[in-house]
Every structure is written in C-alpha cells, then in structure tokens.
Amino acid sequence: MTEYEVAIIGGGPAGLAAALTLSRSMMRTIVFDSPIPARNAASPHVGAFPSMDLAKPEDVRESIAANIRPYGYADLKSAEIAKVVEEDEGFVLSTQGGSSYRARRLLMTTGMVDLYPNIEGLKNFWGASVINCPFCQGYEVRNQSWGIYVHRPEILAAAEIYRNWTDDLVMFIEPGIDVPPERAEAIEALGIRLIPGRIETLEGDGEKLTHVVLRSGRRVPRDILLVWPHQTQGELVKSLDLPISDDGYVKIDECYRTGRRGIFAAGDLTYGGHQNTNTAIHMGNMAAAWLVFDLCQARAREEIYPEDRIVAAQ
C-alpha cells in the first residue's frame, strides 16, 4: 500500500489549496473528493473570489487542480472515504468502494452538510432565486424584492445589513422566534416588513421564484428568498470523535490541529457564519504549512532517535 505523508479528505477550495502548498513542499499527498456534488454546485458562480470572480464553482476547483498536477506530488481521487482507522503512527483510509490507503497525517476539509428547511419547492429554486449569502449572490439580484427566512435569532439581529442590497424587504418570522417589540419597531422603521408565520411552499416559474406561500394561505410576491440552512457535520467527521464546538463545528487550535493526534482540519467544517471560498483557501494553505512543520519535526525526531519510530511501529 502506498504511504502518503498527508491524506486530504475533501477536494473543495480548502483541500485543494492545501494540496497545492503540500505539493510545493514536496510532500506526497492524496486528495479524496466525493463524487456527490459539492454544496455550492447549485450556485451559478463564485462571487467575490479575486481573479476568478463569477467563475463557475467547478471551474474554480479545476483551476486549482490544474496548478497542482504539474508538481506530481498529489494524487487527486474522486472517491468518498467511508472509514478511517488509526494505525502505526498514521491512518488507514477506506473508500466506499473498498480500496485502502495509508497516510501519516490527515487533513479534514469535508465542508458541511446543509439541512434544508421543510419548505415545499425550495430545492427547485436553491442557488438561483433562493440564495444563502448576500455577499456571494446579492449583487446580481440587488434592488429586487427579497424575503429573509428568519428561523434563527441571529438572522433577525442582522436585519440592517440586507437593506444594503435592496429596500424591498420582508422578514418571514418562523413560529418560535421571539421578536422583542423594540426590535420589531427598529426593523419596521427601516421599511422592512415583519410577517410572522410558517412558510409552507414556494411558487415560481422554472428557477425563478414568484411567491412565498405561508401556511395561512397568504401569498407574498417575492423575487428572492434568503435562506441560511442549519448545517451538520458529515458522517465521517462524526465517526472520528473529534472535539466539536457547541454550534457544531470541528474545533481547531492556531496550528489547525483538531483534538486528535495527527488530524488537522480547515475550511467550512471549522466555523459557521460567513463561510466563503477565500477563507477556505486561506485556511487550507495555513493548515498545509502547519502540516509540513509537523511532519518535518517528526522526521527530525526520527533521524535523531530512529528507535522511536521502530518502537511506535511495533
């Protein structure tokens, strides 16, 4: 079995950026990326990504992959990792198809899994007229009529920011979300309408939203609905027993190490909030640098105390 220095699980911007830095550090690396479409695949473009602003998500990935290939240090594999077992100072990874690979270190860049709200028709519009981030897609739909789906208090707290993109704003308040009267007054003073009630279904033409329909039957005409789905970690991350923050993200220290020896993490799976391609790339690059540091320290230890590795391998 080929032994890699680093196995990267997740071939999005974070994983690919890490593979480029590892390649330029001459570290034998393998990147596994699940053939299942990535979270942002539904989006027509990647906005605010310098030098490739508005490129398609798959073109951003391919451009980084094209940078990686000529170095010849990283294998890019389309496969889902189903299982990871710690073994002899490293890890054995098994794909869904049953192939196995060995690596001394792991970098988790698996992103997050979206948990879509139970709104009929949402997936028909997702990425086109149901968007999840004003910075990513807001510019293209500026000055249109927007609805904001408020199913978490922090979305209400950010009401002022959405007006940056449009004055025609409605906030749909899910049952159970408390809107203090003074907050409601402040929001309505900005010309934002607050409409309480569960969203039942979305109506439109093709990918173009036309109406948000409430359980009460009320139909509210809207061009755009902003929805921030809840997120969860993928099954593999859950199986690794990594320390997780209260809001569900993998905890890392300043060197991108998780709480488990030899396992590093970078990208969306480590933080909520304004997740974006630039940050994922920054984190992947930084994690790779710390991995090189860690591996070089291990090599130095093995040169000075070769018996340590022999003992560890027994």
Name the residues that contact ligand FAD, by CB under 6 A. 9-15, 32-34, 36, 38-40, 42-43, 46-49, 80-81, 109-111, 127, 132-133, 136-137, 234, 236, 267-268, 275-278, 280
Residue with smaller CB distance to ligand FAD, 42 or 150? 42
Residue with smaller CB distance to ligand FAD, 25 or 231? 231
Instruction: List Cβ neighbours of 14 (8 Å cut-off, separation of 6 or more).
Output: 109, 111, 266, 267, 268, 280, 281, 283, 284, 287
User: At its nearest, how many Å lie between ligand FAD and the CB of residue 60?
Assistant: 8
Phi and psi angles of residue 156, each rounded to the nearest 5 degrees, phi first: -65, -40
Helices (H), 140-276: 153-157, 159-162, 181-189, 235-239
User: At its nearest, how many Å lie between ligand FAD and the CB of residue 181?
Assistant: 34
Residue with smaller CB distance to ligand FAD, 51 or 314? 51
User: At its nearest, how many Å lie between ligand FAD and the CB of residue 53?
Assistant: 9
Parallel, antiparallel, or unpaired: how do β-strands 230-232 and 113-115 relate?
A: antiparallel
User: At its nearest, how many Å lie between ligand FAD and the CB of residue 131?
Assistant: 7
DSSP assignment, residue 2? P
Residue with smaller CB distance to ligand FAD, 76 or 199? 76
Residue with smaller CB distance to ligand FAD, 30 or 192? 30
User: At its nearest, how many Å lie between ligand FAD and the CB of residue 199?
Assistant: 18
Q: How many residues does the chain have?
A: 314
Exposed / middle / buried, residue 115 (Cβ in 10 Å: 0-12, 13-18, 19+): exposed
